[in-house]
Amino acid sequence: MGSWRFEVFKTACYVGFPIFVVVMQNLQLTEKFIIQDLITEIQKKDLKGERILLEKKKEAILRDQKYWESLSKE
């Protein structure tokens, strides 16, 4: 299976909406996959809101990780 690392980069702001890029890296294969650009629904730059959003994104990333791991088993 290998180890996975997830990184979240705040790349820009578009009309008050922060844009995040999430990079998933399989440390065994040293391949990077850009999962998606995330345009938040947070208009105000409030850290609590961004933290909640990142927690939701983390849950989605873990689901994606299980998917990638299931593909590598086949």
**Predicted TM-score of the model (pTM):** 0.31
30: phi then psi, degrees, rounded to nearest 5: 50, 40
Report the distance separating Cα 53 and Cα 73, nearest Å: 31
Mean pLDDT, the chain cut into blocks of 10 residues (74 residues total): 58 56 52 42 50 71 80 74
CA–CA dist 24, 33 (Å, integer)? 5
- Residue 66 is predicted with a pLDDT of 81
Residue 8 phi/psi, 5° resolution? Answer: -115, 125
Residue 67: predicted pLDDT: 80
Residue 17's pLDDT is 57
What's the pLDDT at 13? 54
